[in-house]
Structure formats: C-alpha cells, structure tokens
Amino acid sequence: MKIIRAVFIDKHSKSHSLYYRLYDTSLVDRWLSLTRRNQKENKQLTTRFTNRTWQDLPEITQSFNKLIGEINRTYDRVLPQYEELDREKLNHLHEEYEIYGERIEELWANDTYSEERHQQFLRLNDNIHLIEDVLKTKTRPWPSFAMLYDYTPQEYHMPITIEDKFWLRPALQWGKLYLGYNTLGKDWLKVEMDDDREVVERDTVMVQERFAAEAWLNFGPDQDHDLNLQRFYSWYKSLPPDLQVKVPIHDPHALNLGRFILGELIIDDYFLEFHNNEEDWALARNPCKLKWSLEVFSTFRALHKIEIIHE
C-alpha cells in the first residue's frame, strides 16, 4: 500500500499529520517518482491554502492590491486595482494573467523578462483563485476549502496519457487527493463554473496535458458526479451556436472534465478523536467533515513536509 504523510502547522504552532492512501495506478507511480526527484534535490515546498472566508476579504484585498502595485512598477501594461472585487473584475485580471503568459517569449526576446515579475504573476493567479473561493463563502454554508502544494523551482513534468484519463473525476470529494492542474489558463469545467464566455470566444481554454509533483488536497463539500455533468451540459446548451461549436462536447478526451485523482485521506485516530463515529466520515457532506474543516483546517498556515512513508 502506498501512503504519504502531510504534516501541517497551524496558527497556534501545533503540528497535524494527515495520511493519504494512494491508489495503485501508473499515474500515481509517475507522480511519486517526480516527488522523490524533487525531494532528493531539496526543492522548496511551496503552498497555496484556500481556507479563509469572506470575513477575511478586506485584509486579502489590501494584500492583493499591493501585489498588483508591485507588478505595475515594472510591467508595461497597467493592471487595475479595485476597492471591491467581484467575478467580472477577477475574470479581467485572469485575462491579464493569460496575456502575460502568452507574452513570455516576447519579453525574453526584448530582454525585459524578470523572474521577480514572473513570480509576482504566479502569485497573482493564485490570489485570483483564492479570492474567487473566498467570495463564494458568503453564500455557501460549506466553503471550498483546499490546499495546493508544489516544489520549486518547478523543472520536472510528465505527460498525461489516455490511460490516465480513467482517473479523471468531474465531481470533487472531501478528503481526496488530486493532481495539481499545472496548466496556464482555465479548463472547460472551470470555464463553465465561472461562465467565462470570453475564454471560449478567444479559443484559450486549456486542458491539462502534463503534470508535476504538484498535488491538491480537497476539503470542500462532496460534489455529485451526475449533477456536475448535467450542469456542464446545460451550460453548453445555453451558449449561442457560434460558441457551442467551439466546445468538444462529442470528445470526452478533449473535454478532459475534472481533476485526476491520486488517493484518499485515511480516517485514523486523529480524526476519530475529533468525531468518533467512523461511518459518519464516509458519508457525503456529513456535518463532521464541515465541522473539522471550519474548526481545524481553517487554522492551518503552513505545510511542513510531505513524506512518502510506504510504497
């Protein structure tokens, strides 16, 4: 059995160890090989936590505008700063992020590329997705909590194969471990969720074609597989004909709906001390999962290490 341990530090400097059972797949084996390679070279473990709520928005917005100000000091396009953020404004800033990605070769050729600015744009993208999730917590009783980690500098990748697509999941589950998206731009499911028709018009929808040692730990509500597919299909049918023809609705491999699953959380004594009915942890959207996410995961501030403890 393949198992990894994720060790977190919370805001009170307390340590938490979460164990994940990995599935026996070629995708997992290749992902583990990338993880070992990065760890052997002592790459830096970097994270993006999504465990804040709308009550934190003023603080997050202030920090976000400071980052945009840093970008504007050296970039030849002026990115807007907003006192209040909404989906339309975030979509515009995400478009600027994609434009930057398309211009990297041009910036290199003109000798105006800056690694510092590149890292700022990566942080901009991370913050856009964070704020999108934070905005949703005002109306959602169960926030879309998660944590993404990777190793930097990111150098090693492997291609997604047709066999790997067996492990695509269009519905996300609490406590499951997924591959990081590792792609510049939005995939079809994200475009549908944001109703971002401009991306479809510009033909800039980007499905995942490769992966790194990056991984995504989900603590949001359990989603319904059939409902997500029905919602996507209804969105597709709502598009005007000129946009419908751009959606590869008849080619599941081209659509690439969802995220690639790697494994699942082990409900051990750590969780049973919090809520002692093991069967409850296996039930979709059980209140014990929400309670742990809000009371415990929301306090996590750092990922100390990822350890491969059994293969």
List b or e across 64-92, with b for residues whose CB sees 16 or more CB atoms inside 10 angstroms.
Answer: bbebbeebeeebeeebeeeeebeeeebbe
pTM here is 0.78
Q: Which two tokens stand for residue 262?
A: 């790697």
User: Given this model, what pLDDT does residue 311 score?
Assistant: 67
Residue 22 and residue 261: Cα distance in Å, rounded? 9
Binned average pLDDT, 10 residues per bin, the chain of 311 residues: 96 96 98 97 93 83 95 94 91 94 89 91 90 82 89 94 96 97 92 94 95 97 95 97 96 94 98 97 96 92 94 67
Q: Which two tokens stand for residue 266?
A: 């082990």
Is 199 exposed, middle or buried, given 0-12, 13-18 or 19+ CB atoms closer than 10 A?
buried
Residue 139 and residue 219: Cα distance in Å, rounded? 17
Q: What is the largest CA-CA distance in the chain?
A: 62
Q: Which two tokens stand for residue 174?
A: 């609490």
